[in-house]
Structure 1
Amino acid sequence: MKLLISGGCGFIGSALIRYLLANTAHSVVNLDKLTYAANPAALADFNQHPNYCFIKQDIGYPLGQLFFQHQPDAIIHLAAETHVDNSLKQPDLFIKTNINGTANLLQGARYYWQGLDHERKARFRLLQVSTDEVFGDWAGRQLKASETSPYAPSSPYAASKAAADHLARAWQRSFGLPIIISHSSNNYGPWQHAEKLIPRCISQALQGKPLPIYGNGKAIRDWLYVKDHARALVQIIEKGRVGESYNIGANCEKTTLAVVNAICQALEKFAPEYSPNNPQGFAGLIKFIQDRPGHDLRYALNVEKIQTELHWQAQESFNSGIDKTVQWYLNQLNTQ
């Protein structure tokens, strides 16, 4: 199968491509405009791989010719602006990329798909990769968001992803384009951009700088190791049912404070030479700061559907995932 992956130089996209090229026979066309959050180095080992092709292009530009030239059997749409803090500062950028860009990609995919022969048309899929944030705040509830839970986005980022999901469903309903949607929880692991919580805390701690935590640190997220997410996306594109949505999570709810403490403990284990000279070690660097505007207190996903239908479940525990992540960043530091 030839897969066209938008945003393939991003954190999740590059993890997906690494997994595909190392573990499957699928070929990959990576479409990425290389924003500040892209990291081509994450795919450097595969630049000469016979099943890999990179194209620098914005999803906001016409894509029809590109689709017809490369003839993908499926599209996995990951290209997006993702950082919530940035969406509060520049919501227009998120609207442009996540909404208008998605509409442009859907329209290009529609015309390409309509021109395929009967057999290839029947096999074609477009996977819209979304987020648990579209379901809004689940604080104070015992339940978790299911695939049929109503949307209630809080931030401009979440709203832009919700809009992209609605557009994908509209293109299926109106034009027949075969759509599948996935919603994942918070990802972490190697190659994540430095603006995100875990790599930022690792970097700050190693420099002896404060580890800022919003509010009281009690916001809860479900933490998913990025390789597990990649495996899930492959399962969905290979075996998922058209018109369905699949939640992807690790059943690993942690407060922000617990995550940062876990990072500190891993650093004490793997990099004690960097530990600050105070009784609390790295944990003594934790600093609580003013909360983010409209900060949701809890995201939680019910993942029974993907476990039951597609026989997927997360393999990495949080502790092992954090250990691997910290060790990877330390190795990067030592090779610079």
Structure 2
Amino acid sequence: MSNTFGWLNDQLLRMQWLSDLVSYLLHDLAGLDLNSRVGASVHFFIYDVVKIFILLSVLIFLISWVQSHFPPERTRRILGRYNGFGANILGALLGTITPFCSCSSIPLFIGFTAAGLPLGVTFSFLISSPLVDLASVIMLASIFNWSIALAYVVVGLVLAVVGGTLIGRAGMANQVESFVYQMPSIELEAQTMSRRDRAIFSRDQVLDIVKRVWPYILIGVGIGAVIHNWLPEDVITSVLGQDKWWSVPAATVIGIPMYADIFGTLPIAEALVGKGVGLGTALAFMMAVTALSLPSLIMLKRVIKMPLLILFTAIVTVGILLIGFLFNSIAYLFV
């Protein structure tokens, strides 16, 4: 059974067949030396780009099919049935089936807040949605392994639940801009979609998301190829090595000004870990890019006031730092 699972994991997720195909095309047909820096970089770039786009398209289609059963109005009604800590957990879990970047999650955050959902619940959703989604589990497993992927999801959900709970208990509902509460809440009748409708919806979601993220994937894979094949390991480890206490804060600070989703940051994290950077440091970088990107904070500032924005940023930042330090200290458990 383990051998069968290992084979399926290598061929379906890691796509070893694709790596072999790219090696054949570059080495046997194009005559490129794959042991050279140029050859290794070209192989890394083509293999990772194609693999990510294949996985992304398949996973977003499947997730969108599931998501077609949970339109925003239905999601709001589900969340509205629960209160307290349980509502925060549900808000974080529902965030996992929305394959959005942080900026795309903000309109839903506005809609949920305008509909009267507790502020803490909407923030649990806002943290979870860009940080943890079902596609990220598969993508992480394809690059690292299942234990790391599942651990990332668990800590991401914990951060979303705890962060939302703390914000909810801070009693800062008055720190949301007044226009948000004044937006009309429209009750929509339940719409039954046929299989054809769901297929069209899922296809359109794939096209829309791929259209929005492809530049970040190319940039991320390009940076990963440079790190993997051109930057000396001792240079990287001297700044972000596992033995450097500042590596996690540095990775978090580096990640905040960037704007990408998890699919664009995964190749960079893969290359960093391959060069000796701590697992927690790489995860902290990924989380900072996806949950605290500067563009998303600027957009969020338009709907909430500065004290609430500072509290949100502080809670998520502290959470990311703690997660980074934790994973660096127990990384041996996941290797």
TM-score band, normalised by shorter chain: under 0.3
Q: Name the structure with the higher strand share.
A: 1
TM-score, normalised with respect to structure 2: 0.27
Q: Name the structure with the higher helix share.
A: 2
TM-score, normalised with respect to structure 1: 0.27
